[in-house]
Structure 1
């Protein structure tokens, strides 16, 4: 039995070339779609991990604070959570994952204020601002320095910061 030599005919050569090019294009489209979906899943996973860790820290601090406050008849206003916003993330073209990492690093720096009285935080606002501005945060081999533009002290401490790429030396 003999297999006919189809590869010598121009019509079959065009068919095989088209099939090969189509397979290459399909493979690149598949790789692109897979990467895009993977990035979305990673971003969602990072969001959920951030929320869980923030809630755990908040819960621990509030439980400790509640035990102290049960002894007192008046309950002063306390800080329950921290929200950090980076203003110029579009100008620096920061990725969502880098933004999450930077926000986490800043939250870890001031994590001790959760459960503290608002009046105490208000008295030491300049110290809080200087502690955030004087620290360099390193993510993916880049060093970032922040300038605090707005600080709102209430049950939720809201910080609006502007990022700059610092010296990595």
Structure 2
């Protein structure tokens, strides 16, 4: 087997030379386009890195502010709701309607504590006790008084009362 004698024919020589020159030119074009794309992508990656660093710094600042605001908010919590519960109403054979009316009356008396911050309510807990205990209650022609047994102060002001005959 032998190689055909294409090297003697100028048409074939031009064809092969054109292929080599075309291959070299296309390789140069490929390298140029690939280099331009690489530069564009590298610039984009650098821009994104800078953006990520800026966003991380901004996120850190927001988190610090959020923590500070939460700290201040916890320090300044307010009373949202008042719960009044009379514990020994069965002892005096009171009906549920009367108990509910007494609870509502006490709740109305201390309703000014709603939306006050917890520190203020805590400082005025003695005043709340006196407001409740100094109020005479009249049910079925009998006079009762209330005694504060337990007071829990948080976002909900919970007070447990005991009722007794007024002396």
Aligned to 2:113: 113
CA distance in 1, matches of 2:110, 2:96: 21
CA distance in 1, matches of 2:143, 2:112: 24
How far apart are 1:138 and its partner, in Å? 2.3
Please report the RMSD computed on the Cα atoms of aligned residues, expressed in angstroms: 1.5
Aligned to 2:156: 156
1:124 pairs with 2:134: no
Aligned to 2:90: 90
Provide, for residues 86-145 of structure 1, a one-character-per-residue CA deviation record: whole Å limited to 9, x for no partner. Answer: 111111111010011100110111011011110000011111111111111223433220
Provide, for residues 24-71 of structure 1, a one-character-per-residue CA deviation record: whole Å limited to 9, x for no partner. Answer: xxxxxxxxxxxxxxxxxxxxxxxxxxxxxxxxxxxxxxxxxxxxxxxx
Alignment of 1:10-159 (within 5 A): 74-75=72-73, 76-159=76-159
Shift >3 Å, 4+ stretches: none
CA distance in 2, matches of 1:144, 1:80: 29
CA distance in 2, matches of 1:130, 1:117: 20
Secondary structure at 1:143 match in 2: strand
Specify the structure having the higher radius of gyration (Cα). 2
CA distance in 1, matches of 2:117, 2:152: 14
Secondary structure at 1:79 match in 2: coil
Return 5+ residue gaps in structure 1 as ranges.
Answer: 1-72
Aligned length: 95
Normalized against structure 1, the TM-score is what? Answer: 0.53
Aligned to 2:47: none
Normalized against structure 2, the TM-score is what? Answer: 0.53
CA distance in 2, matches of 1:138, 1:105: 12
How far apart are 1:156 and its partner, in Å? 0.6
